[in-house]
């Protein structure tokens, strides 16, 4: 599949308005972030910072080659839920696992403790191992600890610092804003520039934005024919998606992190890639796909560890 010669994408203000009205009426609350897949809130801050920074660093496509899901303790986990569930088990068993010292020397056998379950191994084990090693070694080199790395007052400064690490180099900063959301919602960091909060743009938020019509493409055959977007084209598209959700956030009076909580669940349970459950959708009256019957899927892009 060759690269499409151009990518014309823009924000539809009318559809942003319709979507914003529905979002404002829903009065979204977001997650409590007191989840079983996260450390206890009263754990030492350095340990919590280590867990969140390391786990977000490897939180990208989990089911690219095959589904990553399992039943644990009578509950079904899939994708990033399973990744974080395995991560918290390692956190409990090995208190030093996420320290910079340990991550800087991480090898395949140690990584398997985190990235496998009953013979099922994460599809890009070696890449995620590399990202964790890079994280640990660079923290040791420049910051010594997670607390010093994350000793910032603004989310802008956080994004700038994190961009030095391979795991966080995405120009759209999906993982960086995801980490900022966790730190903010967990009360581990207070940022004084909440106006700079953005949704962490992943495949779910992109798909929903395109289906709603808050983001439009000049040529939808790019998606229909699954023409692979280059990394730069993917960045252009996701940046426009980020801008559109920011407009929805501001117009609806819903902060981007709370909006992201809703959209992430919505994309995994309602606005599904193959069989959207429109009957359960609270946004359907503003949705172009529901109106037209045309449900574009997510775009195809060159593989990265961005999202």
Looking at the predicted structure, is the pLDDT value of residue 3 above 70?
no
Q: Answer yes or no: is 108 within a domain.
A: yes
In this structure, is residue 180 part of a structural domain? no
Percent of the chain predicted with pLDDT > 90: 88
Structural domain ending residue among the three candidates 151, 169, 187: 151
- The answer to whether residue 297 sits within a structural domain is no
**Which stretches within the chain are classed as H helix?**
13-26, 45-57, 80-93, 100-104, 108-115, 125-138, 146-149, 155-162, 174-185, 203-212, 221-224, 231-252, 256-269, 288-292
Same domain? For 16 and 52 the reply is no
| pLDDT at site 53 | 98
Q: Among 136, 151, 166, which residue terminates a domain?
A: 151
Residue 65 resides in a domain: yes
pLDDT digits over 46-92, tens only?
999 999 999 999 999 998 888 899 999 999 999 999 999 999 999 99
Whether pLDDT at 34 is above 90: no
Does residue 245 surpass a pLDDT of 80?
A: yes
- Count of H helices and E strands in the chain? 14, 6
User: What is the token pair recorded at 36?
Assistant: 């079983």
Q: In this structure, are 105 and 144 located in the same domain?
A: yes
Q: Is residue 185 pLDDT above 60, yes or no?
A: yes
Q: How far is CA 303 from CA 61, 120, 144, 284, 307, in A?
A: 9, 21, 31, 31, 9
Whether the predicted pLDDT of 279 surpasses 50:
yes
The percentage of residues in the chain with a pLDDT greater than 70, rounded to a whole number, is 98
Q: Does 213 share its domain with 117?
A: no
Judge whether 93 lies within some domain. yes
Evaluate whether residue 183 is within a structural domain: no
| 238 lies in the same domain as 273 | yes
Q: Are residues 206 and 248 in the same domain?
A: yes
Residues 81 and 125 in one domain: yes
Residues 26 and 50 in one domain: no
Does residue 146 sit in the same domain as residue 228?
no
In this structure, are 138 and 65 located in the same domain? Answer: yes
Read off the DSSP letter of residue 171: T
On whether the CB atoms of residues 132 and 54 are closer than 8 A, the answer is yes
Q: Domain count of the chain? A: 2
Q: Is there a single domain that holds both residue 138 and residue 79?
A: yes
For residue 243, the domain's CATH number is: 1.10.1670.10
Indicate if the pLDDT at residue 111 is higher than 80.
yes
Note the pLDDT of residue 67: 87
Residue 37: inside a domain? no
305 inside domain: no
Question: What pLDDT is stored for residue 5 in this prediction?
Answer: 56
Give the residue with greater pLDDT, 78 vs 1. Answer: 78
pLDDT for residue 258: 97
Could you list the residue range(s) of the whole structural domain that residue 128 is in? 45-151
Whether the per-residue pLDDT at 15 is higher than 80: the answer is: yes
Same domain (yes/no): 22, 57: no
Structure confidence by residue, pLDDT tens digits, 291-303: 999 999 889 888 8
Mean residue pLDDT of the chain comes to: 95
């Amino acid at each position: 599949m060759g690269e499409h010669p151009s990518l014309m994408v823009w924000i539809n203000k009318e559809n942003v308005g319709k979507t914003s009205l529905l979002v404002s009426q829903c009065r979204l609350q977001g997650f409590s972030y007191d989840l079983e897949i996260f450390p206890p809130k009263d754990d030492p801050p350095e340990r919590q910072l280590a867990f969140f920074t390391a786990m977000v660093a490897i939180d990208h496509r989990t089911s690219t080659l095959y589904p990553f899901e399992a039943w644990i303790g009578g509950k079904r986990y899939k994708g990033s839920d399973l990744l974080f569930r395995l991560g918290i088990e390692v956190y409990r068993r090995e208190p030093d696992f996420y320290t910079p010292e340990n991550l800087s020397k991480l090898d395949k056998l140690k990584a398997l403790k985190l990235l496998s379950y009953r013979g099922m191994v994460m599809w890009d084990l070696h890449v995620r191992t590399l990202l964790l090693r890079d994280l640990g070694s660079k923290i040791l080199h420049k910051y010594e600890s997670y607390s010093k790395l994350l000793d910032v007052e603004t989310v802008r400064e956080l994004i700038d610092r994190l961009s030095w690490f391979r795991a966080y180099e995405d120009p759209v900063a999906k993982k960086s804003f995801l980490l900022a959301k966790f730190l903010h919602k967990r009360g581990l960091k207070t940022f004084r520039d909440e106006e700079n909060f953005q949704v962490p743009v992943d495949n779910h938020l992109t798909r929903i934005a395109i289906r709603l019509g808050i983001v439009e493409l000049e040529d939808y055959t790019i998606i229909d024919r699954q023409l692979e977007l280059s990394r730069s084209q993917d960045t252009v598209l996701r940046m426009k998606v980020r801008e559109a959700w920011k407009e929805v956030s501001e117009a609806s009076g819903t902060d981007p992190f709370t909006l992201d909580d809703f959209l992430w669940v919505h994309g995994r349970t309602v606005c599904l890639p193959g069989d959207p459950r429109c009957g359960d959708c609270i946004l359907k009256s503003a949705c172009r796909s529901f109106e037209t019957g045309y449900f574009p899927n997510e775009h195809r892009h060159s593989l990265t560890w961005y999202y």
